[in-house]
Amino acid sequence: MITAAVLGASGYSGAEVLRLLNSREDVEVAHCVAASSAGKSVADVYPMFAGMIDRVYEPYDPNNLSGVDVAFLALPSGEAMRIVPEIYGKVGRIIDLGGDFRLSSPNLYQEFYHREHTASHLLADAVYGLPELNFDAIQTATLVANPGCYPTSALLALLPALRNKLILPSNIIINSLSGVSGAGRSASLEMSFSEVNENIRAYKIGKHQHIPEIQSVLERAAGEHVSMSFVPHLVPVTRGIYTTVHAGLLDNIREEDIAGAYREFYRDAPFVRMKKEIPQLSNVIRTNFCDIHFTIEPRTNQLIIVSVIDNLVKGAAGQAIQNMNIMFQISQERGLQKEFAQ
């Protein structure tokens, strides 16, 4: 039996972790930690859990977590770097769903997250938790940095093409549309129904915190400098990310070369589905799948890639559980298939 703790369990990603773990007979959630909801029952905060989860949110106390096999940190950026040093070595494994350990450079972190990194001594220990890229390293990791939702969608779209030298490493354009749950559960005027409904807007152009994450992973995979632009958009849906990538094809690259490269790269990736048709958001909601489709635009000799995920599952909680499964030598698919009908 794996014992788990979920910190930040009252947020959207934390609640999704609880939902996915709830049906597992091989996992016991020993601690549901949520500072702002401490003392409240899980079912009061999320009525969908009534009759399913009979627990009360507890305040954070690092001593209570000693001996737990795995701790999921579903916390706002800036919180994990305070907590991880306190529980590192006390719990078996740590999976951070936030952004604090995704970048190897504390200077880049400060530039894009606008705060000093106070646990930079642990950055070298963190493994970037994209299973389709770092499966072997995740198996033995003590600290996994779960990828961001936007990066998951963009990286899965681009990695096979860059690694196999099918596209130019310059002037890559990534446009992503996200549902409003990506902003978290805290109330704000700009995320209110009247502001979001029947509206689409781009935001944080050129300064989004996921830019260095995407670029650094692509550069490691390509083995050279990669220049890219990333523009996120907010759309009036609750969950999901729809990414469209434009990249220049190298000369004499054929459709069968691209198809073969993607097929080989994702040969052992149970949650990546290559689609002949253009993917739809509705086909991945509440699943851990990433649907990918590519098209060659002969007029401009560009490769256009569409990648679709659920931001709360493959982009957060589902990928975190996929990482847990890998760490504990369990099938990647355990707990991430039949549970999505709820």
Where b means 16+ CB within 10 Å and e means fewer, 158-183 reads bbbbbbbebbbbeebebbbbbbbbbe
Ramachandran region, residue 257 (left: φ > 0; alpha: ψ -120 to 50; beta: rest): alpha
CA angle 88/91/97 to nearest 5° reads: 75
At 229, which helix (H) or strand (E)? strand 228-234
The residues spanned by each domain of the chain are: 2-147+314-341, 150-311
Predicted pLDDT of residue 198: 76
**Both tokens of residue 103?**
């970048």
3-state helix, strand, coil in the chain (%, to 5): 35, 25, 40
Cα distance between residue 113 and residue 78, in whole Å = 8
Q: Bin 241: left if φ > 0, else alpha if -120 < ψ < 50, else beta.
A: beta
Residues in contact with 319: Cβ distance below 8 Å, sequence separation at least 6, in sequence order: 129, 130, 131, 146, 147, 152, 288, 313
pLDDT of residue 149: 96
Catalytic residue set: 149
Per-residue pLDDT of the chain (342 residues; tens, 9 = 90+): 999 999 999 998 999 999 999 989 999 999 999 988 887 888 888 888 888 888 889 999 999 999 999 999 999 999 999 999 999 999 999 999 999 999 999 999 999 999 999 999 999 999 999 999 999 999 999 999 999 999 999 999 999 999 999 999 999 999 999 988 765 555 555 655 656 677 889 999 999 999 999 999 999 999 999 999 999 999 999 899 999 999 999 999 999 999 999 999 999 999 999 999 999 999 999 999 999 999 999 999 999 999 999 999 999 999 999 999 999 999 999 999 754 433
What are the Cα distances from residue 4, in Å, to 46, 92, 124? 20, 10, 24
Stated as kind and residue range, the H or E segment containing 53 is none
Residue 292 CA neighbour count, 13 Å, CB half: 27
Q: Does the reported pTM lie above 0.75?
A: yes
Q: Exposure of 269 by Cβ count < 10 A (0-12 exposed, 13-18 middle, 19+ buried)?
A: middle
Residue at 42: amino acid letter? V
User: Cα–chain-centroid distance for residue 146?
Assistant: 6
Q: For domain 150-311, give the CATH superfamily.
A: Dihydrodipicolinate Reductase; domain 2 (3.30.360.10)
Tokens of 246: 């434009």
Specify the CATH number for 2-147+314-341; select among 3.40.190.290, 3.40.50.2000, 3.40.50.720, 3.40.50.1980. Answer: 3.40.50.720
| pLDDT given at position 340 | 45
Strand 302-309 relative to strand 290-297: parallel, antiparallel, unpaired? antiparallel
